[in-house]
Structures are given as structure tokens and as C-alpha cells.
Chain A
Amino acid sequence: DAGITQSPRHKVTETGTPVTLRCHQTENHRYMYWYRQDPGHGLRLIHYSYGVKDTDKGEVSDGYSVSRSKTEDFLLTLESATSSQTSVYFCAISEIGSNQPQHFGDGTRLSIL
């Protein structure tokens, strides 16, 4: 498996609190992605990054922000968590080049009470 570490692996928090999820890679891949996975919706892209300090929105970006200050780290922040953001969050990476496959981390299970 690709060297991708997500932290924390599990988190329970309350509505209105800030939450930051971290994705760390050791592969030096340029592209990094954050997805959420919910029953009946599959994997939906939240934000992605195509380089240090270069990020863009995905299809479900409202309520989320990201930062990438180093190649190896991609942070996902929920500024004020809501119950609708309860989900499993996956980080993925891919190499530069068209049609490159994505490699996923183990996921973070986040519950907002």
C-alpha cells in the first residue's frame, strides 16, 4: 500500500466545534484529495490539491477548508462541525500525469453529535 497516513482514525465531537483531519504521505505525489463516503452516495470529492498552496474545490466543499503547506501534508478543516458532516473521510494521492490511479488512506470515521 502507498505510504498514506490519516489521523485521527476515529473522532467523536460536538456540533459547533472545529475539527482538523490530517493526511500525511511519504510518496512525494503531487496530487492529494479529500473525499467523504456516505451510504447511498459513494465517494464524493470535497477538495483537492495539485501542489503546495494550490488547492481547489470539489463537488461538496461547503463547510470545509483545506491547506497544504508541505508536499507531504494535506489538512482538512471543519470550521464549525455540523451533524451532516458525520461521515467517513478518505484522503487519496496520485502521481502527476493523465489518468493516474488514486491511492487511498485508511480513512477517518468522524461522528458529530
Chain B
Amino acid sequence: GQQVMQIPQYQHVQEGEDFTTYCNSSTTLSNIQWYKQRPGGHPVFLIQLVKSGEVKKQKRLTFQFGEAKKNSSLHITATQTTDVGTYFCAANSGGYQKVTFGIGTKLQVIP
């Protein structure tokens, strides 16, 4: 099945600093999804990217899909303590409606 590599695994930032997590694949992806999991919570769907070079924004969050559709990134501008959690990317894994999740990036924001 499709594998996606996600880096970094952990990131500590000072409140107000920016944060970026990356998701990479060796093969072309049909789409990429991003999820957020708060500590003690469950993953929550954030967004899906489908088109080559696509950029979508949600307030301070910017999601990008690479031109070759082999990588994606999530960038948070001016982090806040509410951004704490683990961010996962997920890509279609060959089976209909099956996805493979990246290992996740755990973000800690220091007040």
C-alpha cells in the first residue's frame, strides 16, 4: 500500500513562532488529507488536497500539495497554545476509500 513519510515526528515551538510539518511519498498521490488530534482526543479531519500545486488556507493554517503530487505541507503561522496536538497526513492506499496515515507530527507550544 501507499506509504507516506512524515517529518518531523516532534516539534517544540515558542508561542508566536511558525510551525511546518511535511509529508512525502515516493509515488504520485491521488490526494492528501490532513487531520489533527488533540491530546487525549481523536483525529479530526482538517482538509483534503487533490490538485497539483493546490494551496488552501484555514485561518493561520496553510496547506500545500506539491506540483508532482508527491509531497504536502501544513504550515501554521504564529502558533497558539490551542494548536497543540498531533498532525497527521493521510493518503489513499490503493484500496477504494482506504487511506494510510503518516506517523504524525506532535506539536508542543511553549507559552
Contacts and interface: CB of A to CB of B under 8 A. Distances in A.
Interface of A: 31, 35, 40-45, 48, 50, 56, 58-59, 90, 92, 94, 96, 98-107
A102 B99 contact: yes
A43 B96 contact: no
Contacts of A98: 96-97
B42 A40 contact: no
Interface stretch (B14-22, B43-51, B61-69, B73-81): B43-51
Where chain B touches its partner, the secondary structure class is loop
B33 to A, nearest CB: 6
15 contacts: A40-B9, A41-B103, A42-B6, A42-B88, A43-B43, A43-B88, A45-B98, A50-B96, A59-B100, A90-B42, A90-B43, A99-B50, A99-B92, A101-B48, A105-B42
B103 A42 contact: yes
Interface of B: 1, 6, 9, 30-31, 33, 41-45, 48, 50, 88, 90, 92-93, 95-104
A100 B43 contact: no
Given A50-B96, A98-B96, A99-B31, A42 B104 contact: yes
